[in-house]
Each structure stands twice: as structure tokens, then as C-alpha cells.
Structure 1
Amino acid sequence: MSKTILSKNLLYLFFLFTIMACNTPQQAARINRNAPKGNTLLTETIDQRFKHAATQYKLMMEDLPDDKFPKTFVKNKNYFETSGPDWWTSGFYPGTLLYLFEETQDSTLQKEANRAMSILAKQQNNQKSADLGFIMYNSFGNAMKIEPAISYHKTLLTSAKTLAKRYNKKVKAIRSWDTKQNDKEFVIVIDHLMNLELLFWATHATGDSSYYKMAVNHAETVLKNNVREDYSTCQIVNLDTKTGKLKQRRNAQGYNDTSTWARGEAWVLYGLTVLYRETKDQKYLALAKNVADYILNHPNLPKDKIPYWDFDSPEIPNTYRDASAGAIMASSLLELSGYTQENGKTYFKAAEKMLETLASPAYTSLLGANGGFILMHGAGYIPVMAEVDVPLPYADYYYIQALKRYKAIVTGVRSNNASVVYP
């Protein structure tokens, strides 16, 4: 594909997103009955985005070492940075490949995902990691949805059992990080709300409610300590291991300890939406809506809906955006829009605008650029100037997930596994 054709496709996508009529409910949509009906031509353009993304990841395969996973690409140094299988982002690579395989049916993508998962498999026994939801569910979980297999089932169940070993009954939470004083301090990171889908899956798969209870208890502990009264969030809390009482709140990746780190706010929105899906508890739906409203009504959220890396950075507007936070928010809002008639259209339109922006030339990599990553302008760890304004595997993963959800809403057609409501 030439750069000229690619640019035309991107501009076409931008145009179609802009002119979409959104006043008529999509009665045929089996996922989101409250979502507005989009322009039917958009589906064809989204498929072009999937094809572009698939080509990017096939190019990435060529430069990826056999035992490594993509972490980022430093453009000015033409440097492809990788990680080992135990790094928290390792599951996003095969997960994205599997999403793209579902949309393109390109068997090369599935084959590469299987190769990557064969390396990840040992992580099912990694008791030192609280990231097994990210690593194992986003890879083997997606594989299980496409083609259920006993081997995937066993791997996921072992992963859930391993993660459960980090659960503390007194604190009622899963320990995020180990420290030299585990007996005195218990660290919880907001990111790890994303592990709960693995535990919910384990209850569905086995009928053992203990996984469900651990997930809900962990969520309650996070909501009590990491979420503030105005529905902003704090990334890290330190609790007393013996009593569970709060000792400290801090933001490592945010601007300061009282600011709102954008990706942390996105994790909470996504996590609460999953909690409502799994529990049907109206409390979690109300909280998810409050967090969504905090994001969408924040005076520092740009018109194109892609947030700055921290909502409270004093350098706004002259600071970094975070495509990863925008992608996570878009995917979350699309699911959340199906759970509320009152706010459904608002959330759908906001997610649509986020996707419009991410799909534009301002955020989407040209063919062959950025080491094969799909999106540009991710913000990893700004306070220490690590992974600044670079592509990130989780930005790609949630962007493709959001596009899949959007396509399903507009067309009313689910992904290959009809029993799976949300990809």
C-alpha cells in the first residue's frame, strides 16, 4: 500500500466519523441497544483500519526476537525496545494479534500469537507477578474465545490460582508489589483492577465462587482507598498488612500525589465497567458513570477527547497526550454506553470522537513506521521521562478492542464467538 493510498484511507475514515448520523437507535445491535446508529459505510472503513493494523504487526514480527515481546519503539534512534515474558505488557502483543486475526482471518497472525503464547505459558506459575490478568487473560483468554481448548483452559485456571496466592484475607486485596517489609506494608496499584477479569473467568469456568469473592473484595478495597470523593483516582496506596488501614497515597506516574493520572483514571473506568458486567450490582454502574462523567466533563480534557498524561499537569496544553489512556477510555465507554439509557448516547459519542481522533493521521502510524506499532503518542512514565511520546503495546490493544466493539455496535454483528458479548 502506498503512502498516498494510506493517507486517503485515513482521511476517508476521519470524514466518515465526522458525518455519522447518531439520532436513531440501532435496534439490530445485540451488544449495545442504546447506542446510536452509525453510518453503514463506516464498517468498511474500519475494516481498512484492521487491515492496516494487521500489516503493521506482520512487519513487527520480522524484527521481533524469538524470545522477546514488543515494549516500544524509539523513533529518533530507530530503536525497537523489547521485554521478556514476565513484563506486564507481554500479553498485549498476542492479544492484539488475536483480535486482528478475528477481523482479517489472516492465519499468519494466529500462528504468531500461538508462538508468543507458547513463551508466555510458563508465566502461569509466576507467583511474583500481580500482572497475570494483563499477561495471561489478554492472551490465552482471547485465544479461548476464538477456539476453546483444554490447554488454554488449564493455563488460565492455573494463572488464576497463582494470582489468588497473592490475595490477603485480612486486607481483602491482592498484593500488587512485593517490598522488603511485606509483613508491615501492603501495596495496591490502581492498574491491577484489570486483573479481575481473570478471576471472574475462573468462577465462570469452575463454579468456584472464591475467585469471584476475591475479585469483588479487591475491588472494594481499591474503591475505598484509591478513588477520591470527586471520583478522581490515586495510583498507589500503601496499607497496613495486619489491619488493612490506609498508611499512604501516592502517584508514581502522575504529576503529584494529589493529581489525576490519566491512565489510572482509565483503568478505574474500565475496571468498574467490568465489575458491573460481572456482578450486576448497581453500585458499580453508578460509580462507573461518575468516573466517566469526571473524565468527560473535566475542563482539561481536549476537544478531540484524547487526554493529557495527567489531568492536573500545570503545563497543559503544552505537554504530552496519552493515546493509551484515550484507547482504554474509548473501549470502556463503548461497553458502558450499553448499560445506561440515560447516558448511553453521550458515552457512545465520546468514544466515537476518541476513535475518530486515534484513527486520524495525527495518531495512527504510517505503514512501516514506528516498528510496526499502530498508534503514536503514548505516555508511559512521564515523571522520570521514560517511554515519552512513543507507541505502546497496550495502546494498540485497547484501540483495536475499541474498534471491534464499535463495529459490533454499529453492525449488530458480534465477533466469531457469539457467546462472548464483549471482545
Structure 2
Amino acid sequence: MDKYQAWVEEVIGKIREKMDWVSEKNKDKIPYTTDDSGCYDDRGDMTKEWSVDNGLNWWTNGFFGGMMWLMYQDTGEQKYADIARISEYRLEQCLADFYGLHHDVGFMFQPTCVADYRLTGNERSRKNALHAAVLLAGRFNPEGQFIRAWNDLSGDDTRGWAIIDCMFNLSLLYWASEETKDPRFRHIAVKHADTVMKYFVRPDGSVNHIVEFDPQTGEMLRSLGGQGYCEGSSWTRGQGWAVYGFMISYFHTGKEEYLITAKKIAHYCMAALDESGIVPVDFRQPKEPAWEDSCGACVIAGGLLEVAKAVPEQEKEMYRQAAFRILDAIYRTRSDWSRDCDAIVRNCSGSYHNPEHHVTMVYADYFFMEAVYKLMGNTGLLW
């Protein structure tokens, strides 16, 4: 018996029980977080005064659908596919409107459209995913060899900005290249990953969140602290995007440099991980206030489990054990299985300097669930 089997079976039992009613209650929503009553909000609510980058285009809007596809993959229940498609088809409006879309179309359309197509062969989903991949490829700057991140932010010229999060969005380009047999998508993904490897990953395995390049010449200008504590620090969710993201690139390309880079980042994370398994917002933040980010914790855990799949047998347990320590800490001390809250994972933080801390985030639930299924041995993943 796998040493984690009893734990996994217990947790998956609770996931199935909670998702059974959470899915029904929120089937018409595209949630991001919960309100004071514990109920999910709805970023797809077109009656609200969301900004162009903060409503239907919000970057996390694919994760509730992704959770439903995880449940469909697990249980085979048709209701999860039906609920997943409600938010998936609402996101088509983003493609039609165009304005407000950004590099995170991978996060939006990979766990919805690509997942649907892979699991069911839905041609409508394939078309939408390819549309999103073309838009993502169009953000590539050939001088700097990077994919531009955000559209201009309040007062900031972001034409030369790339961020570590985009390592996940590359999965959409790899899929599009494999699906269409067109190497252009893959070329862009590899060029971006190579740039990140060169300019984002520090010698000790910590990573920058934001790097700014001259959009005309491609010259690196500076790095920025972004959502971490400060420039030069180590935003933990960014560490997760990096280790998991380089594993995505490794599995799609076989480039050994990506595995080596992912392992270097993983070892930095494991060395910085507290014995408790609780993960801070930034590995280099002050001891007080002790802000946590359970979402970053779940992403790191998923990345460590991906590394474990690619290393020799004698090395696997080191990564699996570190991932389990994180997931067990979430399960025992940072989760809510009651009907008082729609979300599972607690104590998430968007960024170190955000005035709000220790909230719920739908993508924390997604990555927690995904990692638990990985421990179960379910390798039919969405990325």
C-alpha cells in the first residue's frame, strides 16, 4: 500500500462530499473568493460594475470550471461536465470582446476549454482554446523573446513587463502546437521559457516576480518585487509558478535544462519550508506580521509532485514527502469542510502588501484538489 493512500482516500472523500453541494449551489457563478457569509462571489456577473480587467476577464475565471473537470475525471458524473460548461461558455464573451484580455488566457481557457476537449472531444471547446492560444502568441515580443504580461496598469507602462506566472500559460501554447502540428506555438513557448530561465531564476533557486525589458530592444532593464515583500525577495506563489511551470515545459519538450531549473527552484522551496508545512507570502518576509499564502503552498506542492514524476526512483520520495507535508498542513489546519463556507482552503493572500490577508481563493482549492489527485496517482491532469 502506498504510504499516502489512507490519507488520500480520506481527503478525496471530503472533496467529493463538499463539491457535490458546492457545485450545485454555484453552478451559475464564476467565483473568485467568498464574501462575509461564506458564499462565493461571481466575477461573471455582468450586472455589477466590474472593471474591464476585473470582471469576466479576471484571470482566475477558469479555475471553478477546472475544479468541475477534476470532479468529472474522478467520478464520471455528467453533472460536473454540465456545470463546467456553464462558466466555460460564458468566457466566450471575452474572446468576442477582445479588450481586457491578457497573457493569463492560459489560466482561463486551459482548465476549461482544453480540459473539456481532452476529456470529451468537444469541438466548440477546441475552437475557443485555439482562439485563445492565437491571442496569447500575439503577445510575444520577438526582440526580448518574452510574452508581455499585463495590459497597461493604472499609470504603469507594462509593454516590456513579463512575469513568472506566465510559465503556466505556456501550456496553452504547447497544447495548440501539438493539436495543430504547427510549431510556431511551441517556438514561442520555448523562447519565453528560455528567457525566464535566464533572467528570472537566481543562482540560489529563488525567482523574480516581474522583469522589465525594453520593448524596443529587448534589453533587460530591471526586476520588480511585484506581489512579494520587495525587489530581490521570494514571493512563494511565484516560486510555485516557476517550479511547476518549468516542469510543464520539460514534459512538453524534453529539454533537460528545464528539469534542472525546476529542481533548483524546488530545492530552494524545500530548504525554506518550515517544519509546520505552513507557507508564508514570501520566503524572505519579516517574521512579523506572519502573513501566509495557502494558495502559494498548494501550487508549490503540485510542482514538487511533478518533479517527483521525472526523477530517478531513489529521489522521488524527497519531493513527495515535502509536497505531502504542505498538503497535510492545509488539510489539518487550513481547510474548511463545513457548509458554512463554499471554499475549502483558508489563509490565502494575493500579495504581501495587499491590505487583505488570509482570505479564500478559488484557485487555491483547484491546486489543492489537483495535488491530492496526483498523490492518488491520477495523472490525467489538465496542463
Return the TM-score normalized by structure 1: 0.81
Matched-pair contact (CA < 8 Å) for 2:110–2:382 = no
| Selected match of 1:343 from 315, 319, 325 | 315
Q: Does 1:378 align with 2:348?
A: yes
CA-CA distance at 1:382 after TM superposition: 3.0
Gaps of 5+ in 1: 1-20, 22-36, 409-413
Mapping for residues 176-195 of structure 1, pairs under 5 Å: 176-179=149-152, 185-195=159-169
Which structure carries more relative contact order (alpha carbon 8 Å, separation 6+)? 1
What SS does the aligned partner of 2:310 have? coil
Q: Check the 8 A contact 1:134/1:195 in 2, yes or no.
A: yes
Q: Does 1:196 align with 2:166?
A: no
Superposed displacement of residue 86, structure 1:
0.6
**Residue 330 of structure 1: how far off its partner (Å):** 1.3
Query: Shift of residue 227 of structure 1?
Result: 1.6
Structure with the greater alpha carbon radius of gyration: 1
* Kept in 1: contact 2:114–2:129 (CA 8 A): yes
Identify which of 260, 270, 277 aligns with 1:305: 277
Q: Structure 2 counterpart of 1:117, which letter?
A: E
User: Is 2:144 the counterpart of 1:171?
Assistant: yes
Shift of residue 258, structure 1, vs aligned partner:
1.4
Q: CA deviation at 1:89?
A: 0.6
The 8 Å contact of residues 95 and 397 in structure 1, kept in 2 or not, is answered as: yes
> Does structure 2 conserve the Cα–Cα contact (< 8 Å) formed by 1:231 and 1:290?
yes
Q: Which deviations, in whole Å up to 9, do the C-alpha atoms of 1:85-124 show, x marking residues without a partner?
A: 2100100011111111222333332221111111012334
Q: Name the residue aligned to 2:34.
A: 73
Note the 1:17-416 alignment, pairs <5 A: 37-38=2-3, 40-55=5-20, 57-58=22-23, 60-61=25-26, 66=28, 68-75=29-36, 80-83=40-43, 84-124=55-95, 126=98, 128-179=101-152, 185-298=159-272, 301-316=273-288, 318-341=289-312, 342-360=314-332, 362-370=333-341, 372-386=342-356, 388-408=357-377, 414=378
CA distance in 2, matches of 1:277, 1:398: 19
Matched letter for residue 305 of structure 1: G
How many residues align? The count is 368
Aligned 8 A contact 1:92 1:134 in 2: yes
2:72/2:81 contact within 8 Å kept: yes
> For the structure 1 residues 226 and 40, does the alpha-carbon distance in structure 2 shift closer, same or farther, using more than 3 Å as the test?
closer
**Does the aligned pair in 1 maintain the 2:88–2:113 contact within 8 Å?**
yes
Tell whether the 8 Å contact from 1:308 to 1:319 is kept in structure 2 after alignment: yes
Alpha-carbon distance in structure 2 between the residues aligned to 1:306 and 1:328: 13
Structure 2 runs not aligned, ≥5 long: 44-54
Distance 1:350 1:265 in 2: 14
The CA RMSD measured in Å over matched residues stands at: 2.3
Change (3 A) 1:40 1:373: closer
Q: How far did residue 247 of structure 1 move?
A: 1.1
State how far apart, in whole Å, the 1-side matches of 2:284 and 2:343 are: 28
Q: What is residue 47 of structure 2 aligned with on the other side?
A: none
Amino acid at match of 2:33: T
Q: Cα deviation per residue 1:23-60 (whole Å; 9 max; x = unaligned)? A: xxxxxxxxxxxxxx325444532431331331352364
**Could you say if the C-alpha distance between residues 336 and 108 of structure 1 is closer, same or farther in structure 2, counting changes exceeding 3 Å?**
same
- When residues 284 and 79 of structure 1 are mapped into structure 2, their CA distance, relative to the original with a 3 A threshold, is same
Separation (CA, whole Å) in 1 of partners of 2:5 and 2:202: 41
- Rounded to whole Å, the distance in 1 between the matches of 2:381 and 2:208 is 31
1:376-423: CA deviations, max 9, x gaps? 11111230213x101101101111111111111xxxxx46xxxx4777
Per-residue deviation, 1:273 = 0.7
Closer, same or farther: CA 80–168 of 1 in aligned 2, 3 Å: same
Kindly provide the amino acid, as one letter, of the partner of residue 370 in structure 2: Q
Worse-superposed segment, 183-192 or 205-214: 183-192
Contact 1:91 1:135 in 2 (8 A): yes
TM-score (norm 2): 0.89
The residue type paired with residue 172 of structure 1 is: Q
